[in-house]
Structure formats: C-alpha cells, structure tokens
Chain A
C-alpha cells in the first residue's frame, strides 16, 4: 500500500492524468456532451501531435537541465525552409530533410553557445527566438509561399477514421523517446546530467555531448511539428508558432517536469499537452469567453508546480523497505 502510494506520489504525470479525467468529465457536462463526440474528438486529437511533439522535446531538454524557448520560432522556420526549397524544385522528402536540418542547426547553435560560453540557455534561446523568427520572415520575403499541390502531405494529414496520420508519427516518436529515457543508458545519462552534473562528469558521462544531443533533439522535434502543421494548413505563415514556446514549457511543467532538471517523463509531456488542448477546447465548447483560455493555463501552471512540489515532499517522507 505504502509502496503504491509512493509510486503514485513519485509520478506527477499520474496526478495530471487524474486532473485530465476530472476536466474531461466537467467539460463533457458543460458542453452538453459535445466534448467526447466523434467529431470533436477528431478535431482535438488531430491537433494534439503538433504541440505534443514540441512539448516532448522541451521536456527532455529540461530533464537534461537546459531550456529552449526558441521552439516557437523553429516551429515556423523549419516548414518555411521546406516550402521555399520545395518551391525552388527540391523534391518533397529532401525538402523536409532540409527543414529538419535547419532546425537541427538552430538546436546545435543553441547548445554550442550555451555550453561554450557557460551562459543560461534561457538567454541563448531567448536570443534565438528573435533570430530564428527574423530569419523566417526574411526568407519568406514577407509573403507566405504556397505549397505545391502535388506534395504528399497526406502522410501527415490524412484521417483514418478518428485518427489523423500525424498521430501515428507522434505516437511512434513518443514510444521511442519514452524508451530512450527510461530504458537506455542515454536516458540515465540525461537524468544524471540534469540531476547532478558534477556527479555525472565524475562518473565519466560526456555531459556536454548529452546536452548537445538534447538541444538538437528539441529543435528537430519543434521543426518537425511545424512541418506537420504547415502541411495541414497548406501554407507556412511566418508568424506560425508564436507563443507556442511558452505553451510547450507549460505542458512540460504541468506534466511534472522539474525546472531544475533531472525529473520528468515523456508521458508527463503528453498529458500536459493534452490538458492544454482539452482546456482550450472545453472552454470554447462551454461557451466561455475564449480570452479566459490563457487565464486557465496560467492558473493550472502555477497550481501544477505547487502540487508537484508538495507531492514530491510527501514522497520523500516515505522510505521504502523490502
């Protein structure tokens, strides 16, 4: 019993799941049963992968002890690179890869600057937020390019019943990342690097390379998510993903990721992203003024951190014996 309680307390994402169920129940009532209807679920689940992927990358980077708030700009830059190179005659798949490469380049730059100069990644990526956005607008020339009609965007956007194709990409990535984090030595290294970098260094873990990997991974996931969204919308707006960075950090934190590194899970990131989507959708369906959305997210964020800190303190009091 004590054991189960501790397992529960140790996993803040479980608290998130409970909250999610409660909110779904509430909104189900206030929306007069429309929330869980087929059409609405289709819509909510169709949008989830885009923010979910960004949240997963941000979460993993936060576990490694670093921040990335440039993800919203990378979310716009990667599809812009893809669209422009595609319009210049580069075939679809290489164009997507070029978009991802641009994202990886941003991530690598973030990592290099942060590690080389020993400055907080919050600052590095705040700078990059402006830089990457600027590059996006400049290369777009001010006019969003149209995607050519023969692009096989269906591999991300096609609906199969309830599920959009992007959900499969998202789920696949989530499984790979979850396994990496909990069952690969790289995952152990990421947690150790964010948890106690001196200890990790002393044990021979290449902490700089671990962080570098997480920066690049985070950027690439954001870029990929942006590409998925643009294929859904049909055109890469230069203003895409503005404010997304803060939602992604909020999702990570609501899902139990620690701001100080070392703690967090992929499931938590997904639960956090889902919570944000459900609140967004639920408020609209309940005919609440849409401007309350940010109020709700803000309150949830603060409460989640207070709650998680409390849970962790309770858990620490319980010492397991066999």
Chain B
C-alpha cells in the first residue's frame, strides 16, 4: 500500500525530513488550549505548533477533537480561558475568522472551495479581484495570471488547460490544485487542508498530494487532516495524534515508521494510550 504512493515533488524526499529547528518561531502555536461546549469538553490542554515550511499531519479517530482543533486555528472557536494562541510568536487575543484570515490562514475545503459553474479565471481571484484604474475587473490580468499559475504551479504542461474552462470540467485533484495554488498566490502563511483526498481516485490523490508539496516548496506551512494515514504520512514532516480531546502523541516522521504509527493508532483507539500496556 505504501509503495502506491511514490510521487515526485519536494514533499516526497522524506529521507531528509527536516526536524524543525528549535530556535524558529512557530507560525501558529496553541498553548494549553481547551474548548468546552456545555458539558462536553472537546479539547483539553492542547499544545500545538506549526513551524514555517512545515507540513503537520493531524490524525485521530472520529470525535478525537481534530475538527474542533482545526476550527480553533481557523478562528471559528475561541479557546476557553487559560488557553493562548500565538501567531509568529505574538499572542493574539481577539481571535476570530476574520483575524485568522487577515493573518494568512487559509482553508482548502474539498468540495466547497470553488464555484463549479464559473471559469477558472473567475475562481482564481474570487473575493480579491484585481481592478483597472476604471474600477472594472482587470480581466486580461486575471486570465493571464491564471494561465501562468496553472502552468508554473500546477504542472499543467504548456497550458494544457485554458483559464476560460469552467471548474466543472476539471478533475477532483485539479480542483484541489486550483484551491491550493490560489491560497499560495494570495500569500497564505498557513494552509489548512481538510480531508483533501476524500473521495478521490488514486491518480487524483497523487496529484493533490503533489500540490501539498508545493506549499512546502513555497516556504509556507500546512495542517493536513485526514483519516487516511497512507495519504498523510508520506507528505507530512510531523504528526499529531489526537485522542479524546488530548494530544496523545507527537512524532517527527524520522522517529516513526508508518507501520509503527498504524499499530499505535489502533492501540490508542482501543485503550486510550499510545504505548503498550506495561505487564503487571
């Protein structure tokens, strides 16, 4: 299964996966973050960091707190009292979706990232359209930039796809590519990928994972959430395993093989602990 995912791209040379330098400041850091909804405690005492140029995987069973954690990073949730969020080392108090967006935190949703019926060039600049001095859309620039981005960043060889095509004509992986390219083009510091490979075929998954590699090439960071460890493991630098609202383990990829990680995930689902139970 692991061999099926032999891709090219920067993300793939995992032989020299860079352990984040300790002196670097994380792009985003959550310190002692808890989140309670009524009686239910979704997150408790989470410490979470993403360094510049790092792809961080987030694994965990349903209900482990993945989506609450990610929504906190996106600004949908504010941490309970006692938790802190730092962006590039600075504590941010008024955490909100707009604040997170203005700091360059972009989310790429699988199905909902693009307006399917519109051409690519309208999607590429959605919400941030360049304008001419007359106040009208700079259509020429929107089209030429879209074409450039598609060839340079998405690997469409010599403009195989025209920016006038509607998004509907693209495959699932290509759509992800447009969404990721768009996020990078608009200087996202941190791209959140919410199950980007869900429902995609093998080749489309490979394409998507290549695009994730582009994020790293551009020196930006990403959080990669997925159920499928076979998709997450090859592209990430570090992995957080969540269980019942807590960080059950953090691994640099060089520290752990995929097989070992799978064993531990099964164990944590059964026993709530990543380590083997000590013999009595």
Q: Which residues of A contact B (CB under 8 A)?
A: 10, 179, 182-185, 187-189, 191-192, 195-196, 198-200, 202-205, 258, 262-263, 316, 319-322
Contact = CB atoms under 8 A, between A and B. Distances in A.
A181 to B, nearest CB: 11
Contacts of B123: 192, 199
Nearest to B117: A262
Contact of B126 (A183, A199, A263): A199
Interface in B74-127: 98, 101, 107, 109, 112-118, 122-123, 125-127
A199 B129 contact: no
A66 to B, nearest CB: 16
Interface stretch (B130-138, B200-208, B223-231): B130-138
Contact of A191 (B118, B131, B164): B118
Contacts of B127: 189, 192, 200, 203-205
Nearest to A205: B127
Interface stretch (B13-21, B165-173, B258-266): B165-173
Contacts of B160: 321
Nearest to B168: A316
18 contacts: A184-B136, A188-B122, A188-B126, A188-B129, A191-B117, A198-B112, A199-B109, A199-B112, A200-B115, A200-B126, A200-B127, A202-B107, A202-B109, A262-B118, A319-B162, A320-B162, A321-B160, A321-B161
A196 to B, nearest CB: 4
B256 interface: no
A198 B127 CA distance: 12
Contacts of A179: 136
Contact of B169 (A183, A188, A204, A319): A319
B145 to A, nearest CB: 14
A322 B165 CA distance: 11
Nearest to B114: A199
Tell which of A183, A203, A204, A320 has the most Cβ of chain B within 10 Å: A203
Given A183-B136, A196-B114, A322-B147, A204 B101 contact: yes
Nearest to A317: B169
A316 B101 CA distance: 34
A133 to B, nearest CB: 34
Nearest to B147: A322
Given A185-B129, A185-B131, 5 more contacts: A188-B129, A199-B126, A202-B112, A203-B126, A319-B165
